[in-house]
């Protein structure tokens, strides 16, 4: 018995009860004690210890969660950067830096915002209008917002895609099968510039292979073609597939690219 007391004396610090309280942050009942450090370089020093408070644990868990989310975001971004086909100017496009130049375009921006807020993974958008009104810009902006929410997105310029499918994709050794897998899988696909591709049977059939793969999943289309032209180009059956569960947003206005005066 005596020897056990000795050991306790050596290893257990002397402690004095100070108070008990409920931690306002973690709501746990906390016992506060004063301890005298029994050994080591800080021997004899008194410290206050809070037993029962789990604030530090919560903070750690939150840190870990944040890190996981960051990692997930990085993964989304990597997939997007690796597979997407968009030109340099559009890389900077965000919702915040889109400045509508007309009431119609302001309405388009609001519609896009509400699409993001109510994203259900199913509804499609068809952005239709003249050149340079920000159809591609706003589509990129959607992908950025949704990726922040952990959604996988892909932006494909259709004309570029069809050219690239024939070549080695991106020069990164991506195969057509792999690409179609990604197209099938992502939460949101932007199919940019519908109707600007070469009008061949092969192109049309590829487009509808893609639409088929995306059936039931959200896709944003952008196009300069009106509904008559789309119907003519993609035939009746495919045209109706295109408009299935699709909200049309009309975006006419001045060509933003021409705003640069010279």
Binding site for Mg ion (CB under 5 A): 135-136
244: nearest Cα among 214, 209, 223, 224: 214
**Smallest gap from residue 223 Cβ to ligand ATP (A):** 8
Among 26, 106, 180, 250, indicate the residue that binds Zn ion (CB under 5 A): 26
Residues that bind ligand ATP (CB under 6 A): 89-90, 93, 97-101, 131-137, 193, 222, 224, 256-257
**Smallest gap from residue 180 Cβ to Zn ion (A):** 52
The one of Zn ion, ligand ATP, Mg ion, none whose footprint includes residue 206, by CB under 5 to 8 A per kind, is none
In this complex, which beta carbon is closest to ligand ATP, that of residue 26 or of residue 90?
A: 90
CB-based contacts of 161: which residues, under 8 Å, 6+ apart?
Answer: 85
Contact positions with Zn ion (CB under 5 A) in 30-69: 53, 55
The one of Zn ion, Mg ion, ligand ATP, none whose footprint includes residue 93, by CB under 5 to 8 A per kind, is ligand ATP
In this complex, which beta carbon is closest to Zn ion, that of residue 23 or of residue 174?
A: 23
The answer to whether 126 touches 211, Cβ cutoff 8 Å, is no
What is the rounded (10 degree) CA torsion for 119, 79, 163, 122? -20
In this complex, which beta carbon is closest to ligand ATP, that of residue 127 or of residue 182?
A: 127
In this complex, which beta carbon is closest to Zn ion, that of residue 63 or of residue 176?
A: 63
In this complex, which beta carbon is closest to ligand ATP, that of residue 213 or of residue 254?
A: 254
> What's the token pair of residue 40?
């080591």
**Smallest gap from residue 109 Cβ to ligand ATP (A):** 8
The one of Mg ion, ligand ATP, Zn ion, none whose footprint includes residue 25, by CB under 5 to 8 A per kind, is Zn ion
What does the alpha-carbon distance between residue 128 and residue 63 come to, in Å, rounded to a whole number?
Answer: 43
The one of Mg ion, ligand ATP, Zn ion, none whose footprint includes residue 83, by CB under 5 to 8 A per kind, is none
Alpha carbon separation from 194 to 78, 156, 190 (Å, rounded)? 25, 10, 10
In this complex, which beta carbon is closest to Mg ion, that of residue 124 or of residue 136?
A: 136
The one of Zn ion, ligand ATP, Mg ion, none whose footprint includes residue 55, by CB under 5 to 8 A per kind, is Zn ion
The one of Mg ion, ligand ATP, Zn ion, none whose footprint includes residue 53, by CB under 5 to 8 A per kind, is Zn ion
94: nearest Cα among 41, 42, 147: 147
Strand partners, 29: 22
The pairing of beta strand 29-36 with beta strand 46-51: antiparallel
CB-based contacts of 231: which residues, under 8 Å, 6+ apart?
Answer: 239
**Smallest gap from residue 181 Cβ to Mg ion (A):** 26
190: nearest Cα among 233, 230, 141: 141
The answer to whether 192 touches 157, Cβ cutoff 8 Å, is yes
In this complex, which beta carbon is closest to Mg ion, that of residue 38 or of residue 159?
A: 159
Which helix (H) or strand (E) segment holds residue 73: the answer is helix 55-83
């Amino acid at each position: 018995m005596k020897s056990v007391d000795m050991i306790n004396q050596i290893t257990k610090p002397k402690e004095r009860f100070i108070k008990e309280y409920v931690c306002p942050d973690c709501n746990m009942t906390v016992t506060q004690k004063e301890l005298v450090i029994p050994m080591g370089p800080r021997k004899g020093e008194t410290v206050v210890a809070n037993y029962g408070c789990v604030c530090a644990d919560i903070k750690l868990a939150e840190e870990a969660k944040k890190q996981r989310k960051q990692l997930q975001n990085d993964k989304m971004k990597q997939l997007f950067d690796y597979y997407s086909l968009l030109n340099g100017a559009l890389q900077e496009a965000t919702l915040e830096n889109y400045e509508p130049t007309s009431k119609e375009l302001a309405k388009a921006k609001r519609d896009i915002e509400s699409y993001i807020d109510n994203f259900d993974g199913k509804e499609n958008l068809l952005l239709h209008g003249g050149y340079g009104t920000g159809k591609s810009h706003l589509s990129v902006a959607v992908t950025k917002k949704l990726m922040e929410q952990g959604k996988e997105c892909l932006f494909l310029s259709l004309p570029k895609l069809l050219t690239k499918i024939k070549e080695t994709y991106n020069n990164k050794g991506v195969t057509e099968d792999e690409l179609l897998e990604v197209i099938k899988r992502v939460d949101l696909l932007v199919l940019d510039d519908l109707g600007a591709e070469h009008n061949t049977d092969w192109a049309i059939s590829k487009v509808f292979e893609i639409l088929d793969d995306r059936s039931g999943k959200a896709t944003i289309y952008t196009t300069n073609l009106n509904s008559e032209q789309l119907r003519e180009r993609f035939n009746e059956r495919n045209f109706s597939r295109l408009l299935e569960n699709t909200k049309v947003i009309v975006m006419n206005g001045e060509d933003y690219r021409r705003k640069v005066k010279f």
